[in-house]
Amino acid sequence: DTEVTQTPKHLVMGMTNKKSLKCEQHMGHRAMYWYKQKAKKPPELMFVYSYEKLSINESVPSRFSPECPNSSLLNLHLHALQPEDSALYLCASSPEGSTKNIQYFGAGTRLSVL
Amino acid sequence: TQLLEQSPQFLSIQEGENLTVYCNSSSVFSSLQWYRQEPGEGPVLLVTVVTGGEVKKLKRLTFQFGDARKDSSLHITAAQPGDTGLYLCAGAPRGFGNEKLTFGTGTRLTIIP
**pLDDT given for residue B95 in this prediction:** 65
DSSP H or E stretch at residue B110? strand B107-112
Give the pLDDT confidence of B17-32 residue by residue, as tens digits.
999 999 999 988 888 9
Residue B97 has pLDDT above 60, yes or no: no
Mean pLDDT across the stretch A7-21?
94
- pLDDT cut 90: percent of chain A above it: 75
Q: How far is CA A65 from CA A94, A104, B8, B82, in A?
A: 21, 22, 36, 37
Residue B100 neighbours by CB under 8 Å, 6+ apart: A45, A48, A56, B92, B93
Closest CA to A114 of A90, A85, A83: A83
State the count of interchain CB pairs (< 8 A) between A and B: 65
Out of A27-31, B10-14, B48-52, B98-102, pick the least confident.
B98-102
**Mean pLDDT value of segment A82-95:** 95
* pLDDT at res. B42: 93
**B35 to chain A: which residues are within 8 Å by CB?**
105
Does the pLDDT value for residue A98 go beyond 80? no
How many CB atoms lie under 10 A from the CB of residue B26?
10
User: How close A108 gets to chain B, by Cα (Å)?
Assistant: 6
CA-CA-CA-CA torsion sign (B30, B70, B82, A111): positive
Determine, for residues B99 and A33 on separate chains, whether the beta-carbon distance falls below 8 Å. Answer: yes
Q: What percent of chain B has pLDDT over 90?
A: 78
Give the integer Cα–Cα distance in Å for A6 and A24.
7
Cβ–Cβ of B88/A42 closer than 8 Å? yes
Helix %, strand %, coil % of chain A (to 5): 5, 55, 40
Is B31 within 8 Å of B91 (Cβ atoms)? yes
Q: Average pLDDT over chain A, rounded to whole?
A: 92
pLDDT category of residue A56 using cuts at 50, 70 and 90: confident
Asked whether the beta carbons of B77 and B60 are under 8 A apart, the reply is yes
* Nearby residues of A104 by Cβ (< 8 Å), 6 or more positions away: A2, A3, A4, A25, A27, A29, A92, A93, A94, B45
**pLDDT at B1 exceeding the cut of 70:** no
* Position A1 confidence tier, pLDDT thresholds 50, 70, 90: low
Chain B environment of A110 (Cβ under 8 Å): 40
CA distance A30 to B63: 28
User: How far apart are the C-alpha atoms of A10 and A89, rounded to whole Å?
Assistant: 10
How far apart, in Å, do the first and last CA atoms of chain A sit? 36
Residues of chain B numbered 8-67 and touching chain A (CB < 8 Å) = 30-31, 33, 35, 40-45, 48
Question: Is omega for the bond preceding A8 within 30 degrees of 0, making it cis?
Answer: yes
**Binary contact (B99, A107; C-beta < 8 A):** no
Q: For position B39, what pLDDT does the model report?
A: 86
- Cβ atoms of B21 and B107 within 8 Å: the answer is yes
